[in-house]
Each structure stands twice: as structure tokens, then as C-alpha cells.
């Protein structure tokens, strides 16, 4: 158009002496056949819901009444990164970290609270930066959703925080705990605003691990009409719908999380305090009463005797935490949207823990492991539950895609998973009507895209 040509001429720095030439170019442009300028097609927006440990978290210390060591701070001026912050996981700082980040369960209200005089917040809600890396330093070893986000932006032209969003949340908490944190209302508002910003296209929810529990619970609570208008599908990655045996060791003997030189018993108080840990333990019917997930001389523990298990490991309050965490949750009730169940397989995964000691304090020692099949973290039966529970029960399709050898977290960086997601989104976009021309210009195919580089950031 004339305005675009004049704008281009001004940007070139041409002098007034060039005005006749510019007018000649304008006349030639007007004489050329018009070509349509077509509005860019809106994309299926993507909402990323992370799993246990997958959200960056900040803390502020407001004059703590007690600290485990004299060098642990009692007060900070502002919020600081507490998860994941590798600097806090050293030999000298780990006790400070555990005391700051642990929860305190109220067995009257069945709700957890932060440590006294510690404020916790999850920053950057809606921002992919909060879920692309575990650690704020963004080192490659802490990559989480970063590979998928990079593929979306570079290969499909998605824009961070516009067409792809992140849903960080306080993963320490069980679903009922997160009700107090307004998880559902916050997610609903984010989905609705993101859909509006993307041509009212329904969104693809991409949930990983524990994030699938929160996504399922959220979808179960929404009306069919709302889901039809706002949710295109749920991509459930590594969904532990029946829990995971690996969590049994977390609450009994502790898990060092592969942190060098750290003892499991040092981190165990923190892990026991998470109501999400209590929730993620093996659940019936996938683990029937007759199948033990833990044993010691003369005693087996299964889904039928959790009370004895928690009492015997010296953590009786764990039973109340577990019972409270399961409130209003039913994994067999389908979400009422199209589902794609994606998970790894073929990796040794804890299927039962065996302690050889029957002495007092036996749970303080690390158990032997009887391996099962799974993705290294979640057992196969739990990963396959979304198909087992929902296929044929809801009218929407439930599909399965298994990636042999894909580990529970690394699957998010696996080429097969990323390609599956990109293909799925391309299929969704192809279903939509092609956009109509907004106006015509003879220079439509040759005008420079001044914002081309922005799409690749």
C-alpha cells in the first residue's frame, strides 16, 4: 500500500530529492495486480502444567524464631529462589533449606502451612520461564519443559506467554491443599484469557507427572460446555494416576534425590512434610490389598494397611496426611476431553522395597529394591491407568503413545515426544478454517516482516 511504501522510503533515509522516484515507484505499485494479505492463523494455545518439583519457588524469611544452625538466616529483606536453588543444597546449607521449605500439617483442619515466619510464593504465573528449567540459573542439567517450548517457538511459530503458557504451582501440596491456594480458579482464568488471545481456539493442556492429577481434578469440576469451548485435548505425560511405589521410600527412609554427598535422612523430614508425597503413594485398585509394596521380616505392607505402615516407620501423622490428601479425588472418573496418554516404558522401576532389619529404627536404613516395569519413577500400571480407566467410559477418544526407554523426566526432552506434540498441534490447526484476506496489497509477498526475529526468541 501507499502508506507502507512511504514508510519504507522514510526508513531508508532517502532525501527529498528522491521524492519523484518514490512517487514513480508508488505509481508502478498501484498499477500491479493486487495480492491478498491474509491474517495469520490463530494457533491452538498450549498450557504447560508441571509435575512434582517442576515449578520454581521463592521464599522470604520474616524473623524465624528458631534455626537449625547459627549460620542459617532468620530474616531476609526480600524473596529469594528456594527451589530449585543448587546453592542451598550443599553440606553446610541443606539443613537451613529443609527447615525453610518444609510444611506443617494441621490435623484439625487437614491443611498444611509453611514453616513459622516463612513466606512462600510461586512467581511468574502464566510464564513459561517458571517451568522451562528447574533451576533459576537455567543450566542445561536442570532443563524441564525448555525443549518443548523451544520446538514450539522455533518450528511452529509459537510465542512465549501468548500462545504457550506455564502453570507453576506449589508442588509440595496435595490437591486439597492447593484448593486453598485457588489452583482451579487461577487455572480457569489463565485458560480463558489465553484462549481469547488466540482467536478463541480451545487449548491443549500438556501435563507432566503430578500435574496430571491437578489437571484431571480441574477438568472433572468443569462443565461439559466449558470444556468444549476451552479444551481441545489433554496430553497426559507420565501420569501417575495410581501413585508410585518409589514414594514409599521417600516417606520411610528418605531419598537423596541424587544430590552428591547428601544423606537421605537429612532430607527425609522435608519429604515427609509434603502432603503431595502422601498423595502419590500406591493406591487401590491398581495395588490390591494382597500385593505388598514394602516388606520387612515378618511383615508386609500394602494398600490395605497404611495405618500399620506409618506407625511402624515412626511417622503416624502420615496416615492423616494421606487420608486428607485423597479427599474428592477419583482417578477412575474421566476428564471429559480428548486424551493422549504418553509415557516411557522398559526401565527398572521400584516395585517393592525390602528391609532386612526388624530392629527399632529399621526404616532409617535404605531398603533393597525389587524392580517392576515403568519409566524409572512411575510403575507401568499407573502410567497406563488413563487408558484403563477412561477408554470407552467417556465419549471423547483416549489414545496411547508409549516411548520405549524414555525416563520419567527426560521424556519431555525426547525427540519422539516433541515430534508427537508438534504433529498433534499441526493436526488440530489443520482442522480450523483458513483465515480470510483482511485487505489487498500489490506488495503483499515482498514486504519485509520487521518482527520476524521476535518469533524465534
- Give residue-wise pLDDT tens across range 296-311: 999 999 999 999 999 9
Strands 164-166 and 46-49: parallel
Confidence of residue 138 (pLDDT cuts 50, 70, 90): confident
Q: What are 313's three cell numbers? A: 516407620
Give the chain's count of helices (H) and strands (E).
17, 17
pLDDT tens-digit map of 324-377: 999 999 999 999 999 999 999 999 999 999 999 999 999 999 999 999 999 999
Instruction: Note whether 205 and 338 are within 8 A (CB).
Output: no
Confidence of residue 281 (pLDDT cuts 50, 70, 90): very high
Question: φ and ψ at 149, to 5 degrees?
Answer: -65, -40
CATH numbers and ranges of domains, the chain: 2-39+436-451 (no CATH), 46-430 (3.40.50.1820)
Is the CA virtual torsion 15, 17, 22, 25 positive or negative?
A: negative
> For 52-135, where are the E strands, in sequence order?
57-61, 80-83, 103-106, 111-114, 118-121
The one catalytic residue in 375, 382, 414, 441 is 375
Question: Would you state the pLDDT for residue 262?
Answer: 81
pTM of the complete model: 0.86
| Mean pLDDT (whole number) for 114-136 | 96
d(CA 177, CA 213): 13
Q: Does a cis peptide bond (omega within 30 degrees of 0) precede residue 84?
A: yes
- Unique residue bearing C-alpha cell 492429577: 213
Looking at the chain, the whole-number percentage of residues with pLDDT higher than 90 is: 81
The pLDDT mean for the chain works out to 88
Rg of the Cα trace of the chain?
Answer: 26
Question: Would you state the pLDDT for residue 40?
Answer: 56
Q: What are 404's three cell numbers? A: 520405549
d(CA 111, CA 331): 22
Is 375 among the catalytic positions? yes
d(CA 117, CA 59): 10
Confidence of residue 259 (pLDDT cuts 50, 70, 90): confident
Q: Which residues contact 39 (CB under 8 A, 6 or more apart)?
A: 435, 436, 437, 438
- Unique residue bearing C-alpha cell 512411575: 378
Whether residue 159 is predicted with pLDDT greater than 70 in this model: the reply is yes
pLDDT tens-digit map of 377-408: 999 999 999 999 999 999 999 999 999 999 99
3-state SS, residue 420: helix
Residue 16 neighbours by CB distance under 10 Å:
7
Q: Which one has a higher pLDDT value, 2 or 61? A: 61
Say how far residue 325 (Cα) sits from the centre of its chain: 19
The one catalytic residue in 252, 408, 414, 441 is 408
Whether residue 166 is predicted with pLDDT greater than 50 in this model: the reply is yes
Q: Please classify residue 423 by burial: count the beta carbons closer than 10 Å to its beta carbon, then call 0-12 exposed, 13-18 middle and 19+ buried.
A: exposed
The one catalytic residue in 209, 276, 302, 303 is 209
| Mean pLDDT (whole number) for 127-156 | 94
Whether residue 20 is predicted with pLDDT greater than 80 in this model: the reply is no
pLDDT tens-digit map of 67-114: 999 999 999 999 999 999 999 999 999 999 999 999 999 999 999 999
Q: What are 161's three cell numbers? A: 506467554
- Unique residue bearing C-alpha cell 494382597: 290
Q: Which spans in 102-199 are helix H?
A: 129-132, 146-155, 175-180, 183-197
3-state SS, residue 383: helix
Instruction: Note whether 156 and 422 are within 8 A (CB).
Output: yes
| Mean pLDDT (whole number) for 136-144 | 88
Is 330 among the catalytic positions? no
Instruction: Note whether 239 and 286 are within 8 A (CB).
Output: no
**Burial code of 346-355, b = ≥16 C-beta within 10 A, e = fewer?**
ebebbbbbeb
pLDDT tens-digit map of 410-456: 999 999 999 999 999 999 998 876 544 444 333 333 223 323 222 22
Say how far residue 432 (Cα) sits from the centre of its chain: 27
159, HSE (Cβ side, Cα atoms, 13 Å): 12
Q: Which residues contact 145 (CB under 8 A, 6 or more apart)?
A: 48, 50, 54, 128, 131, 132, 166, 208, 412
Looking at the chain, the whole-number percentage of residues with pLDDT higher than 70 is: 86
Instruction: Note whether 44 and 429 are within 8 A (CB).
Output: yes
Question: Would you state the pLDDT for residue 141?
Answer: 84
Say how far residue 329 (Cα) sits from the centre of its chain: 19
Amino acid at each position: 500500500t501507499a502508506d507502507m511504501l512511504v514508510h519504507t522510503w522514510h526508513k531508508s533515509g532517502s532525501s527529498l530529492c528522491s521524492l519523484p522516484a518514490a512517487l514513480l515507484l508508488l505509481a508502478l505499485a498501484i498499477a500491479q495486480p493486487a495480492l491478498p494479505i491474509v491474517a495469520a492463523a490463530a494457533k491452538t494455545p498450549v498450557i504447560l502444567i508441571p509435575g512434582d518439583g517442576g515449578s520454581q519457588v521463592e521464599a522470604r524469611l520474616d524473623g524465624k524464631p528458631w534455626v537449625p544452625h547459627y549460620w542459617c538466616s532468620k530474616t531476609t529483606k526480600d524473596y529469594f529462589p528456594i527451589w530449585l536453588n543448587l546453592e542451598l543444597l550443599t553440606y553446610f546449607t541443606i539443613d537451613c533449606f529443609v527447615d525453610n521449605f518444609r510444611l506443617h500439617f494441621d490435623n484439625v483442619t487437614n491443611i498444611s502451612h509453611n514453616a513459622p515466619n516463612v513466606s512462600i510464593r510461586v512467581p511468574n504465573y502464566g510464564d513459561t520461564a517458571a517451568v522451562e528449567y528447574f533451576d533459576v540459573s537455567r543450566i542445561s542439567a536442570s532443563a524441564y519443559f525448555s525443549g518443548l517450548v523451544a520446538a514450539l517457538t522455533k518450528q511452529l511459530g509459537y510465542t512465549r506467554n501468548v500462545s504457550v503458557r506455564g502453570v507453576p504451582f506449589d508442588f509440595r501440596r496435595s490437591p486439597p491443599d492447593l484448593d486453598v491456594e485457588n489452583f482451579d480458579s487461577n487455572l480457569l482464568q489463565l485458560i480463558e484469557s489465553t484462549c481469547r488471545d488466540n482467536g478463541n481456539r480451545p487449548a491443549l493442556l500438556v501435563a507432566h507427572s503430578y500435574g496430571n492429577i491437578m489437571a484431571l481434578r480441574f477438568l472433572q469440576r468443569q462443565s461439559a460446555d466449558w470444556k468444549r469451548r476451552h479444551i481441545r485435548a489433554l496430553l497426559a505425560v507420565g501420569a501417575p494416576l495410581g501413585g508410585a511405589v518409589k514414594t514409599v521410600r521417600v516417606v520411610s527412609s528418605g531419598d537423596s534425590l541424587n544430590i552428591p554427598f547428601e544423606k537421605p535422612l537429612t532430607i527425609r523430614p522435608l519429604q515427609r512434610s509434603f502432603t503431595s508425597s502422601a498423595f502419590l503413594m500406591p493406591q487401590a485398585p491398581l495395588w490390591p490389598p494382597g500385593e505388598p509394596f514394602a516388606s520387612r521380616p515378618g511383615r508386609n505392607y500394602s494398600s490395605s494397611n497404611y495405618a500399620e505402615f506409618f506407625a511402624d516407620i515412626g511417622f503416624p501423622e502420615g496416615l492423616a496426611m494421606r487420608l486428607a490428601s485423597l479427599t474428592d479425588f477419583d482417578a477412575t472418573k474421566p476428564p471429559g476431553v480428548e486424551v493422549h496418554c504418553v509415557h516411557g516404558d522398559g526401565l527398572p522401576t521400584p516395585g517393592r522395597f525390602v528391609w532386612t532389619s526388624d530392629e527399632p529404627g529399621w526404616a532409617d536404613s535404605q531398603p533393597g529394591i525389587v524392580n517392576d516395569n515403568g519409566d524409572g519413577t512411575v510403575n507401568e500400571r499407573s502410567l497406563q491407568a488413563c487408558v484403563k480407566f477412561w477408554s470407552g467410559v467417556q465419549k471423547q477418544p483416549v489414545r496411547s503413545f508409549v516411548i520405549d526407554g524414555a525416563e520419567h523426566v527426560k521424556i519431555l526432552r525426547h525427540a519422539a515426544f516433541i515430534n508427537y506434540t508438534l504433529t498433534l498441534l499441526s493436526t488440530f490447526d489443520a482442522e480450523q478454517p483458513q483465515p480470510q484476506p483482511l485487505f489487498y496489497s500489490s506488495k503483499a509477498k515482498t514486504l519485509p516482516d520487521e518482527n520476524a526475529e521476535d518469533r524465534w526468541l
